[in-house]
Chains A and B, each alone.
Chain A
Amino acid sequence: MNQYEIRELCEAFFDAYENRRVDILDRLYADDCVIWHNVFGRETTRDENLAALPDGYRGQRRRTYNDRIINTFDDGFVIQYSLNGVQHNGHRGALWVCIVGRCRDGRITRIDEYMDSGKFAAWSGRPIQGDWRTATGGAK
């Protein structure tokens, strides 16, 4: 993949996330794709990630992935962005996230996500309780 293809893949991935198109995300993940989150320090499979999305999406009225700064390298990309969310009660919150993605043959093979769980309460507008998912795993 050249840098333009990798950049397009990155944009397509975040557009699909924003538009809640789980079917497109399914196509963009390689069969052996794994997702790692710094908040939990563990890997999840593509199937686990996709299965968690519908429930995660129900948590907010809207989520947009803005201010995307993308840089590409031989086999992947790094994207820095602001995740802006609108809760069902109208509360607006933001998270500042960085993702490093690995790509092969037009699909994403690995995602490493870095975010600050200390911002989750402000993001949701309510105290943190129980299990939290992340921006790409469906922050509640």
Chain B
Amino acid sequence: MSVDTEHRRLCHALFDAIEQGDIDAVDDCYAADMTMWVNVGRAEITREENLAALARGRDLHRRRTYNDRIIDTFDDGFVVQYTVHVVAHDGTTVPLPACLVAEVRDAKITKLFEYLDSGKFSPRGRA
């Protein structure tokens, strides 16, 4: 399998797992020393902190889908541009365009950088 194909599969595996709320499958995508940074909070969090946040966030919304994925790969990672569609429990849908840059080693994600616009978050935290 080419590096390009490998990275694309890893990217889709990550988003599919998050979309389905499958925390174990998300964990399978991460290296043990994985860290994540988001441009909104700018604090670097660990793999365990990220997995805990995903688990807590599962029930906040009725559904979240990661759509329109545009993936480009490079030797040691990938960038994906996408739109998260967040469906709140009251049925309201909020689209949130975002970009994620991933560093990859041995087919596992070692670092994630996420860029999004907190101005698109709903005042009631729907997105």
Residue pair B42, A73 in contact (C-beta under 8 Å): no
A-B pair number, CB within 8 angstroms: 69
- Against A, the Cβ 8 Å flags (1 = close, 0 = not) of B60-98 are 000000000000111001010100000000000000011
In the complex, chain B residues whose CB is within 8 Å of the CB of A100? 72, 79, 81, 99
Chain B interface, >50% SS class: strand
Residue pair B97, A114 in contact (C-beta under 8 Å): yes
| A-binding segment of B10-18, B19-27, B47-55, B114-122 | B114-122
In the complex, chain B residues whose CB is within 8 Å of the CB of A112? 81, 99
Residue A71 interfacial (CB < 8 Å): yes
Q: What's the least CB distance linking B97 to chain A, in Å?
A: 5
In the complex, chain A residues whose CB is within 8 Å of the CB of B101? 71, 78, 80, 98
In the complex, chain B residues whose CB is within 8 Å of the CB of A115? 39, 115, 117
Q: A38-B98, A71-B101 are in contact. Are A78 and B117 (CB under 8 A)?
A: no
Residue B32 interfacial (CB < 8 Å): no
Residue pair B117, A39 in contact (C-beta under 8 Å): yes
Residue B40 interfacial (CB < 8 Å): yes
Residue pair B98, A78 in contact (C-beta under 8 Å): no
In the complex, chain A residues whose CB is within 8 Å of the CB of B115? 38, 80, 96-98, 114-116
Residue pair B39, A96 in contact (C-beta under 8 Å): yes
* B116: contacting residue among A74, A78, A116, CB under 8 A: A116
Q: What's the least CB distance linking B20 to chain A, in Å?
A: 25
Q: A100-B79, A114-B99, A116-B40 are in contact. Are A38 and B117 (CB under 8 A)?
A: yes
CA distance A71 to B73 in the complex (A): 9
CA distance A73 to B118 in the complex (A): 28
In the complex, chain B residues whose CB is within 8 Å of the CB of A97? 39, 115
Residue pair B74, A73 in contact (C-beta under 8 Å): yes
Residue A41 interfacial (CB < 8 Å): yes
Residue A64 interfacial (CB < 8 Å): no
